[in-house]
Amino acid sequence: MRLLRIALAQINVTVGDIQGNRDRIVRAIREAEGQGADLVALPELAVTGYPPEDLLLKPEFIAANMRALREIAAEVKASVAVCGFADRKDDLYNAAAVMHDGKVAAVYHKAFLPTYGVFDEDRYFGAGEGNAVLELPSPEGPPVVVGVSVCEDIWYPDGPPTAQALDAGAELLVNISSSPYCVGRFETRRQMLATRASDTGAFIAYVNLVGGQDELVFDGQSMLLGPDGELVARAPAFEEALVVVDVDLEAVFRRRLHDPRRRKREEEEKVARIALPAGATIGGRKKPEIPPPPMGEPLCEEEEVYRALVTGTRDYVRKNGFQGALVGLSGGVDSSLVACVGVDALGAENVVGVTMPSRYSSEESLADARALAQALGIELLNVPIEPAFKAFETMLDPLVKDGPSVTYENLQARIRGNILMALSNARGWLVLTTGNKSEMSTGYCTL
């Protein structure tokens, strides 16, 4: 058997925090090497955080990220590590660095740059050309051949990973990614990767970013697929994880004996390999026992969405330096749900509820708000809005007294928004809005 121990380091990094990201990456590599990993894969643009956007226009930011990469490489001892960073050559590139024995051994530049949905990579990066196919010496037989690509590159049937497998004989395709979450995204990815694995007859190691960054949430759910497209291992959703798995690459050889396509490829299409030194040999050293491959449990749609909300809230508050969160509690379903998200994200001690009763508030709704705050264990402030409402009424009555009642109903929401923002400014709390989509579209919410 030619066993390769792979570690997928699903980590949560922060855009712009290059030193913090470097430290997190180094910790993951050390932990993986401690578990005997031959190869460690980390997410796309892990050094800069994703998406770095206009920070990429600052030369010192690029230089700092490249210094950090060299510092990371110096910590890679017993493994080969693949990590995303921003590379500067004749242009800027979304790149994957291959690190071994204290230095950067190879660099791959992302070829397909998405410009749809939340992506605008074509604005910042040049499109890469060429491939990164590695040869790792093996004492049990022929070298292990590994192809490296970045996120979007593997979504195209004729993209670089296919060439790496069919033209260079890659047995393992490593794809580092920062793929944002949306409902049902895991299954879409899994189906695509399963197709690519079965088409190429290769193992696929896919590592994804996890955590929230501004308006985006990354769900992780990194995975390893076998050469028949079967799911071998799956990291959990919405949490950091290190997935370490042993794969028998002889399975690739056996499967490809039944697939003559590689023999038919034209000689001029062959992709060159990068031979790593003998120190990158896989196997041949004693390794600690590891548990069976993890298979993170799939979440139902409601829990998946809820976990995404909690993750996004937690990281937005943490990464932007807020002290806690503030929620206006009406006693209704919307604000109750938001308060639950806040508590699960930040802890009850970091969430404050505010009731702001008016002449239209019922005692039942106020009692519900108090009961919720008690059940969640959060502090509850009471700020009646009647004085402010009367002042506005006095000013506006001559102009709108014959107008629709919704005028004054909407006025309540705006008064409450002012109160919440004043408390936010005074105490450093982030206001979590409680408006649903219908209210957002009509402006009738405390925002």
In a shared domain, residues 158 and 223: yes
- Give the per-residue pLDDT at 131: 87
- Give the per-residue pLDDT at 267: 52
Tokens of 410: 């909407």
In a shared domain, residues 402 and 351: yes
Contact 220, 239 (CB under 8 A): yes
Q: Is 307 contained in some domain?
A: no
End-of-domain residue from the set 214, 247, 280 = 280
In a shared domain, residues 326 and 269: no
Q: In 3-state terms, what secondary structure has residue 108?
A: strand
Question: Low-confidence residues of the chain, pLDDT below 50?
Answer: 268
In a shared domain, residues 269 and 367: no
In a shared domain, residues 236 and 332: no
Q: Is 111 contained in some domain?
A: yes
Contact 150, 107 (CB under 8 A): no
Q: In 3-state terms, what secondary structure has residue 81?
A: strand
- Give the per-residue pLDDT at 444: 66
In a shared domain, residues 125 and 254: yes
In a shared domain, residues 219 and 123: yes
End-of-domain residue from the set 252, 280, 308 = 280
Contact 189, 219 (CB under 8 A): no
Q: In 3-state terms, what secondary structure has residue 206?
A: strand
| Domains held by the chain: number | 2
User: What is the residue range of 432's domain?
Assistant: 322-442
In a shared domain, residues 258 and 396: no
Residues carrying an active site annotation = 44, 110, 151
End-of-domain residue from the set 280, 300, 333 = 280
- Give the per-residue pLDDT at 440: 79
In a shared domain, residues 167 and 19: yes
- Give the per-residue pLDDT at 439: 79
In a shared domain, residues 233 and 328: no
CATH number at 403 reads 3.40.50.620
CATH number at 8 reads 3.60.110.10
- Give the per-residue pLDDT at 25: 98
Question: Exposed e or buried b for every residue in 265-294, given b needs 16+ CB within 10 A?
Answer: eeeeeebebbebeeebbbbeeeeeeeeeeb
In a shared domain, residues 224 and 333: no
Return all residues near 166 (Cβ < 8 A) that are at least 6 apart: 200, 261, 262, 265
